[in-house]
Each structure stands twice: as structure tokens, then as C-alpha cells.
Structure 1
Amino acid sequence: MKRTLIIGASSNPSRYAYLAAQKLRNYGHPVLLLGRRKGFALGEEIHLEKIEWEDVDTVTLYINPSHQPEYYDYIVLLNPKRVIFNPGTENPEFKNILLNKNIVPIEACTLVLLSIGQY
């Protein structure tokens, strides 16, 4: 299973980040939640601080590109295998940074990837 960090996690069940956390767990993938607001999703704490988690396979982004620069170094430090840029989070600058660090950037929807068995 692919340990996944959701950046932009939300406690609102109608948000895509919440739905992604739910679906990832349903498929057996452990989730880590990092958000801009304190709360809980699916019984898990949404952290506000950038924790140096180990063995993060995938980072999936649910934050606007204008908020992403503050996470560049943090994500690179975690050294995931890939970063998923969900619709609306595409960021060519960050994509190039990731490529230079041998981290695969993917422009796709986490929910769709799970649905079609390509996660």
C-alpha cells in the first residue's frame, strides 16, 4: 500500500481532499493529513505543522499553486516517489523542482486514478 500525504486536507465531507482521504483508506492506503485549518477527517487529525513523516510514497496536492511555494522544501525533504497535482493545483515551477530531485510529478485526479486502478 502507498502511504499518502494529503496536503490541503479538509474536515468538510464535500471537499475533494476529504473524498480522496476516504477513498484512499477504502483502498487500503494509509493517509497522513496536512491542512491549513485544524480539524479531523475520518477520525484522523488534520495537522497544521509540517511533520517529517517517513516512508511517504505519494503526496497529493489540494492547495492552490499560490500556496505551494511554502511546501516545496518540505515535500522535497520527504522524498516521495511522486507528487500528484490534482485539477487546479498544476504548477510548472514546482513540477521542474520535483523532476530535478527525481520525484515524479503527475497531473491527474487522485479519485480518478483510484477508480481506474492506476493509483
Structure 2
Amino acid sequence: MQNTGKTLVLGASTNDDRYSNKCVKLLRKHNIETVAVGIKEGVISDVQIQTGKPCEAKVQTIAIYLSPKNLESFHDYIIGLKPERIIFPPGTENPEFYKKANAHGIETEEACPLVMLNTGVY
């Protein structure tokens, strides 16, 4: 694993069929500190899903599991967390937000966190 700092999964769901759920579980399997933020409270493995825009310190990576439209209200929140990078899995691509994040020195990647974790390039 290249990066093992804290990861925030935005769009987390208790639904086992959702990729955000699978991502949280796989992050924890790799012993990566994980914060889950979703629209409903709940628990995935040992991670409590928080709602709203919780204040988190030292988030290295944010994995986005929201459509560009649903992400709009989180733009300032994400920039304010000052992550090193934001990962956009397939279906969440958002070129306009990439520009905004990059302008703040945040790396953006179009990639699948599940594949990255399973191949050791996370």
C-alpha cells in the first residue's frame, strides 16, 4: 500500500450491495483508518456512519460515492478538509470539481478504490 492515511468515504451506505459499503469494509480489512459519511446513520463493520459534514482532522484521502449533482453541497466541505487526494470511482466523474480541487493543491484521481486496495496501489 502506498497511502495508508485516514480515508473519508463520502456517500457511505449500510446496504451491502453498494460500492461505498464494500469500500469501507475493504479499507478496514487493510487496517486503514476510515470515516464514513452518509445520509443515514448506521454501522459498517466497526465504522459508524456519520451524517452532515463532520469535522475531521488530517484526512489524507476522500473516496467519493456521490453523483456530481449530489456532491455540489459538499464542495466547500471537501476543500476545507484539505485532503491530499480525492478518488472518483466510475460514475462519479466530476471534471468541474477536479479543477476547483486542483486549484487548492488537492490531487484528483479517476479510479476505483476497491481495485486500488486489492492490487496494492492505494
TM-score range, shorter chain: over 0.9
Q: How many residues align?
A: 119
State how far apart, in whole Å, the 1-side matches of 2:5 and 2:20 are: 17
Structure 2 residue ranges without an equivalent (≥5): none
Match of 1:85, as an amino acid?
Answer: F
Aligned counterpart in structure 2 of residue 112 of structure 1, from 112, 115, 122: 115
Structure 2 counterpart of 1:75? 78
Query: Following TM superposition, by how much is the alpha carbon of 1:44 offset from its aligned partner in structure 2, in angstroms?
Result: 2.3
Query: Partner residue of 1:97?
Result: 100
CA contact (8 A) 2:39 2:52 kept: no
- Give the TM-score of the pair, scaled to structure 2: 0.94
Counting aligned pairs with the same residue, the percent is 36
> Secondary structure of the equivalent of 1:98?
helix
What secondary structure does 1:77 align onto? Answer: helix
SS of aligned partner of 1:60 = strand
Residue range with higher mean Cα deviation, 96-105 or 29-38:
29-38
Runs of 4+ in 1 over 2 A off after TM superposition: none
Distance apart, 1:62 and its partner CA: 0.5
Paired residue type of 1:28? N
Q: What are the within-5 Å matches in structure 2 for residues 50-69 of structure 1?
A: 50-69=53-72
Q: Distance in 2 between matches of 1:8 and 1:49?
A: 11
The Cα of 1:96 is off from its aligned counterpart by 0.4
1:66 partner letter: K
> Does 1:30 pair with 2:22?
no
3-state SS in 1 of match to 2:116:
helix
Alignment partners' CA distance in 2, 1:39 and 1:100: 34
> How far apart are residue 28 of structure 1 and its match?
1.2
Tell me how large the CA RMSD over aligned residues is. Answer: 0.9
Question: Which amino acid counterpart does residue 77 of structure 2 have in structure 1?
Answer: Y
Instruction: Please give the alpha-carbon distance, in whole angstroms, between the structure 2 residues aligned to 1:40 and 1:11.
Output: 7
Q: Secondary structure at the residue paired with 1:55?
A: coil
Runs of 5+ unmatched residues, structure 1: none
